[in-house]
Structure 1
Amino acid sequence: MLRRKWLITTALGLLICLFWSFLSSLGTGGTLGLVESVLQDKIMQKADADRAPNVNIKLIKIDQASLDNLGQFPWDRGLYAQLISMLADAGAKAIALDVVLAEPGNDPESDKLMAETMKKYPNVILPVVFNFKARQDEAGELETESISYPAETIGAGPEQLGHINVLQDKDGTVRKLTIGLKDDKGQVMPAFSVKLANYLLDQEHQIVWSEEKKGWYRGEQWIPADSRNQIATEFYTEPREEMSLATGYDSQSFFDVLSGNIPADYYQGDVVLIGPFAPGLQDEYLTPLSTTLKMYGVEIHANMIQSLVAGKFSTKASPVVNYALIILLTFLSTILFERFTGNKAFAVYGVLAAVFILVWIELYQLKSLFITFTYPFLALTTVFIWSVVSHYLAERRERSRVTNIFGRFVPRTVVDEMLASGEEVTVGGQRRDISVIFVDIRGFTPMSEKLEPEQVIQVLNEYLDICTKAVFNWNGTLDKFIGDGVMAIFGAPITQPNHPELAVRAALEMKRQSAELEERCLREIGVPVRFGVGVNSGPAVVGNIGSQMLRLDYTAIGDTVNLAARLESNAKPGQILISEETLARVKGKFITQSIGEVKVKGKERPVLVTEVLGEAEEHTQTETTNKEAIMNDQLRGRVGT
Structure 2
Amino acid sequence: MRVKLAHILLLLTVIFAVLLYRGSLDSIDHLLQDHVMQHERSVDTTIAIIGIDDQSLEDFGSWPWSRNVHAQLLDTLSEGHPAVIGFDLTFPVGSEDPEADTEFAAAVARAENVVLPVYGTFAPNTEQGKIEALELSQPFEALRKAAAATAHINTITDTDRVVRKALYSFDYEGESIHSLSWTVYQKYREAMGGTADPQKLPLDDFGRFYIPYSGGNGDFEEIPYSAVLSGEVPPSYFENRIVLIGPYATGFKDDFLTPISGKNTLYGVEIHANIIQSLLDDNYKRVLDWKWNEVVLLFVALLAYLLFRKVKMLYSYAVIVVIIALLIFAGRFFYDQGIVISLGYVIPFLIVSCIIVIAFQYLEELMEKRRVTDIFGRYVAPQVVDQILKNGQEGLKLGGSRRELTLLFVDIRGFTPLSEAAEPEEIVEILNEYLDLTAGCIFKYDGTLDKFIGDATMAIFNAPLLLEDHPMQAVKAAWAMKEGSAAVEQKLFERFGLVVKFGIGVHTGPAVFGNIGSKTRMDYTAIGDTVNTAARLESNAKPGQILISEATYAFVRDRVSAVSLGEIKVKGKEQGISVYELEGLR
Superposed pair shares fold, TM > 0.5: yes
1:138-190 C-alpha deviation (Å, 9 max, x unpaired)? 24552112444555534758864443333333443333222334454444635
Distance in 1 (alpha carbons) for counterparts of 2:355 and 2:310: 15
Instruction: Tell me, yes or no, if structure 1 residue 20 matches structure 2 residue 16.
Output: yes
Instruction: Tell me, yes or no, if structure 1 residue 277 matches structure 2 residue 245.
Output: no
8 Å Cα contact 2:550/2:578 also seen in 1 = no
Letter of the structure 1 residue corresponding to residue 2 of structure 2: R
Moved more, 62-71 or 126-135: 62-71
Letter of the structure 2 residue corresponding to residue 607 of structure 1: E
8 Å Cα contact 1:193/1:302 also seen in 2 = no
1:343-376 C-alpha deviation (Å, 9 max, x unpaired)? x57x755753563354135323443433333333
Q: Secondary structure at the residue paired with 1:96?
A: strand
8 Å Cα contact 2:129/2:207 also seen in 1 = no
Aligned with residue 303 of structure 1, among 274, 278, 294: 274
Letter of the structure 2 residue corresponding to residue 591 of structure 1: V
Letter of the structure 2 residue corresponding to residue 359 of structure 1: L
The CA deviation at 1:436 is 2.5
8 Å Cα contact 2:115/2:147 also seen in 1 = no
Moved more, 304-313 or 534-543: 534-543
Aligned with residue 114 of structure 2, among 125, 140, 149: 125
The CA deviation at 1:542 is 1.7
1:229 is matched with 207
| Residues 54, 485 of structure 1: alpha-carbon distance in 2 compared, 3 angstrom cutoff | same
The CA deviation at 1:335 is 6.6
1:124-146 C-alpha deviation (Å, 9 max, x unpaired)? 13123141323345245521124
Distance in 2 (alpha carbons) for counterparts of 1:65 and 1:107: 25
Moved more, 9-18 or 303-312: 9-18
The CA deviation at 1:336 is 5.6
The CA deviation at 1:516 is 7.7
1:190-233 C-alpha deviation (Å, 9 max, x unpaired)? 53345337636998984322xxxxxx32xxxxx32212332232
Q: Secondary structure at the residue paired with 2:197?
A: strand
| Residues 232, 547 of structure 1: alpha-carbon distance in 2 compared, 3 angstrom cutoff | farther
2:410 is matched with 439
1:457 is matched with 428
Letter of the structure 1 residue corresponding to residue 323 of structure 2: V
Distance in 2 (alpha carbons) for counterparts of 1:584 and 1:260: 112
1:100-121 C-alpha deviation (Å, 9 max, x unpaired)? 3455677777667666655665
8 Å Cα contact 2:39/2:214 also seen in 1 = yes
Map of 1:39-78 to 2, 5 A cutoff? 39-46=32-39, 50=41, 52-67=42-57
Aligned with residue 493 of structure 1, among 446, 460, 464: 464
| Residues 357, 197 of structure 1: alpha-carbon distance in 2 compared, 3 angstrom cutoff | farther
Distance in 2 (alpha carbons) for counterparts of 1:529 and 1:284: 95
8 Å Cα contact 1:466/1:513 also seen in 2 = yes
Map of 1:130-529 to 2, 5 A cutoff? 130-139=119-128, 141-154=130-143, 160-182=149-171, 184-187=173-176, 189=178, 191-196=180-185, 199=188, 206-209=195-198, 216-217=199-200, 223-239=201-217, 241=218, 248-281=219-252, 283-290=254-261, 294-329=265-300, 333=304, 344=313, 348=316, 351-352=319-320, 355-356=323-324, 358-368=326-336, 369-394=339-364, 426-428=395-397, 429-442=400-413, 444-465=415-436, 467-468=438-439, 471-472=442-443, 475-496=446-467, 499-500=470-471, 503=474, 529=500
Q: Secondary structure at the residue paired with 2:134?
A: strand
| Residues 197, 452 of structure 1: alpha-carbon distance in 2 compared, 3 angstrom cutoff | same
Aligned with residue 608 of structure 1, among 566, 575, 580: 575
Q: Secondary structure at the residue paired with 1:367?
A: helix
1:634 is matched with none
Number of equivalent positions: 576
Distance in 2 (alpha carbons) for counterparts of 1:497 and 1:183: 90
1:36 is matched with 29
Q: Secondary structure at the residue paired with 2:279?
A: helix
Distance in 1 (alpha carbons) for counterparts of 2:562 and 2:529: 25
The CA deviation at 1:392 is 4.8
Q: Is there any run of 5+ residues in structure 1 with no aligned partner, and where?
A: 210-215, 218-222, 242-247, 601-605, 626-641
The CA deviation at 1:58 is 1.5
Distance in 2 (alpha carbons) for counterparts of 1:584 and 1:64: 97
Letter of the structure 2 residue corresponding to residue 233 of structure 1: I
Distance in 1 (alpha carbons) for counterparts of 2:483 and 2:54: 107
Aligned with residue 554 of structure 1, among 524, 536, 558: 524
RMSD: 4.6
The CA deviation at 1:62 is 3.2
Letter of the structure 2 residue corresponding to residue 362 of structure 1: A
The CA deviation at 1:405 is 6.8
| Residues 547, 167 of structure 1: alpha-carbon distance in 2 compared, 3 angstrom cutoff | farther
Distance in 2 (alpha carbons) for counterparts of 1:168 and 1:326: 27
The CA deviation at 1:514 is 5.6
8 Å Cα contact 1:434/1:538 also seen in 2 = yes
1:90 is matched with 80
Q: Secondary structure at the residue paired with 2:328?
A: helix
Distance in 1 (alpha carbons) for counterparts of 2:194 and 2:326: 33
Q: Secondary structure at the residue paired with 2:2?
A: helix
| Residues 205, 393 of structure 1: alpha-carbon distance in 2 compared, 3 angstrom cutoff | farther
Distance in 2 (alpha carbons) for counterparts of 1:515 and 1:189: 98
Letter of the structure 2 residue corresponding to residue 17 of structure 1: T
1:311-352 C-alpha deviation (Å, 9 max, x unpaired)? 3333322111233344455565567667899xx57x755753
| Residues 197, 365 of structure 1: alpha-carbon distance in 2 compared, 3 angstrom cutoff | farther
Distance in 2 (alpha carbons) for counterparts of 1:597 and 1:377: 79
8 Å Cα contact 1:284/1:297 also seen in 2 = yes
8 Å Cα contact 1:575/1:611 also seen in 2 = no
| Residues 434, 372 of structure 1: alpha-carbon distance in 2 compared, 3 angstrom cutoff | same
Letter of the structure 2 residue corresponding to residue 24 of structure 1: L
1:402-455 C-alpha deviation (Å, 9 max, x unpaired)? 67678879999x99xx99xx9999444322222323334455444423322123
8 Å Cα contact 2:162/2:256 also seen in 1 = yes
Distance in 2 (alpha carbons) for counterparts of 1:179 and 1:523: 98
8 Å Cα contact 1:194/1:308 also seen in 2 = no
Q: Secondary structure at the residue paired with 1:61?
A: strand
State percent identity of aligned pairs.
35
Distance in 1 (alpha carbons) for counterparts of 2:227 and 2:143: 25
| Residues 116, 500 of structure 1: alpha-carbon distance in 2 compared, 3 angstrom cutoff | closer
8 Å Cα contact 1:112/1:153 also seen in 2 = yes
8 Å Cα contact 2:51/2:247 also seen in 1 = yes
| Residues 372, 353 of structure 1: alpha-carbon distance in 2 compared, 3 angstrom cutoff | farther
1:639 is matched with none
Distance in 2 (alpha carbons) for counterparts of 1:583 and 1:66: 103
Letter of the structure 2 residue corresponding to residue 38 of structure 1: L
1:245 is matched with none
8 Å Cα contact 1:179/1:194 also seen in 2 = no
Distance in 1 (alpha carbons) for counterparts of 2:525 and 2:60: 103
8 Å Cα contact 2:109/2:147 also seen in 1 = no
Instruction: Tell me, yes or no, if structure 1 residue 591 matches structure 2 residue 574.
Output: no
Letter of the structure 2 residue corresponding to residue 614 of structure 1: E
| Residues 234, 570 of structure 1: alpha-carbon distance in 2 compared, 3 angstrom cutoff | same
| Residues 144, 523 of structure 1: alpha-carbon distance in 2 compared, 3 angstrom cutoff | closer
Q: Is there any run of 5+ residues in structure 2 with no aligned partner, and where?
A: none
8 Å Cα contact 1:411/1:475 also seen in 2 = no
Provide TM-score, normalisation by structure 2.
Answer: 0.79
Distance in 2 (alpha carbons) for counterparts of 1:79 and 1:497: 97
Letter of the structure 2 residue corresponding to residue 484 of structure 1: D
8 Å Cα contact 1:169/1:175 also seen in 2 = yes
| Residues 274, 457 of structure 1: alpha-carbon distance in 2 compared, 3 angstrom cutoff | closer
Letter of the structure 1 residue corresponding to residue 131 of structure 2: L
Provide TM-score, normalisation by structure 1.
Answer: 0.73
8 Å Cα contact 2:285/2:340 also seen in 1 = yes
Letter of the structure 1 residue corresponding to residue 212 of structure 2: E
